[in-house]
Amino acid sequence: MSGESRTLARQPPPPPADAPAGGPTRAAGRRPPWVLMYHSVSSGTEDPYRITVPRERLEEQLRWLLGRGLSCVGVGELMAARAAGRDRGLVGLTFDDGYADFVDEALPVLLRHGCTATVFVLPGRLGGVNSWDPLGPRRPLLSADGIRAAASAGMEIGSHGLLHTDLTTAPDTRLKQETAHSRALLTELAGTAPRCFCYPYGAVDARAINAVRDAGYRYACAISPGPLTGPFALPRVHIDASDTPFRMRLKQLLHPLRRRPLPESQSPDATGRPRIGDRQ
Ligand SMILES: [Zn+2]
């Protein structure tokens, strides 16, 4: 018998089927929030990692989400609303790697639809390219000015580390640089300390989670974190150019079935931040 069934028994009825995972009646943990993972928004044809969504497809996807009564927000806003039991009808949007096309292609579409998002950038590669990918194409990354432009347009800036490093294999010194130093650089650059971190490659373990938490972040995004699922390892759904409204609907329905619930005990608050040091 789980805590979920006990909670459902004493709280109001669950939200309608169209609401995203993590409605208000389950806000204090349990069902994972629905967070979408984008990367580049452009029209290039070479896309071996399936990380590109053309602007027109993003437009269609946002129209579909809004048409179902959902509001698109960044992860910080989503999780703060969830903690307050006000996340009904919210879906999280994230854009990994901080590609320069975010400002030129994604941002106008987001703003036109009244959406916000979290952009996970790499302060150690400002104005650089995605050289961590062995296959092409090379894509330009946001400069400092580009990050500031996204922030001033109302987007949440999160850290993707310094250089796009797998934290699970990084030595301790490097781990601290990727988490704490990237946060310090972004604080200086954007004027606000980032609340959210995103694990490169979705690679996460207990040591990485503790480093992220100790660096001062409040939330962190993974992809399929399995038993580590929690506010510092949020599951996300990959979105690419093939995601028509039909596929979006399927992903919405499957998300709470494919991903674990968030354990209530790991919900961070203003005072207590859980440690996961016993696992490893
Ligand atoms: Zn990445």
Per-residue pLDDT of the chain (280 residues; tens, 9 = 90+): 333 333 333 333 334 334 444 443 444 446 789 999 999 999 877 777 888 999 999 999 999 999 999 999 999 999 999 999 999 999 999 999 999 999 999 999 999 999 999 999 999 999 999 999 888 788 999 999 999 999 999 999 999 999 999 999 999 999 999 999 999 999 999 999 999 999 999 999 999 999 999 999 999 999 999 999 999 999 999 999 999 999 999 999 888 888 888 886 544 433 334 444 433 3
Ligand 1 geometric centre to CA of 10 (Å) = 41
Identify the residue whose tokens are 């409605």.
Answer: 23
Ligand 1 geometric centre to CA of 95 (Å) = 9
Report phi then psi at 134, rounded to 5. -65, -30
Ligand 1 geometric centre to CA of 97 (Å) = 5
Ligand 1 geometric centre to CA of 160 (Å) = 7
pLDDT for 265: 52
Ligand 1 geometric centre to CA of 200 (Å) = 5
Token pair, residue 86, equals 């006000």
Ligand 1 geometric centre to CA of 62 (Å) = 22
Identify the residue whose tokens are 């503790």.
Answer: 210
Ligand 1 geometric centre to CA of 135 (Å) = 14
Domains delineated in the chain: 25-264 (3.20.20.370)
Ligand 1 geometric centre to CA of 8 (Å) = 37
Alpha-carbon Rg for the chain, nearest whole angstrom, is 18
Ligand 1 geometric centre to CA of 161 (Å) = 9
Ligand 1 geometric centre to CA of 277 (Å) = 25
Ligand 1 geometric centre to CA of 47 (Å) = 15
> Tens digit of pLDDT for each residue in 98-110?
999 999 999 999 9
pLDDT for 271: 36
Ligand 1 geometric centre to CA of 260 (Å) = 22
CB-based contacts of 74: which residues, under 8 Å, 6+ apart? 92, 93, 94, 116, 117, 118, 155, 156, 158, 196
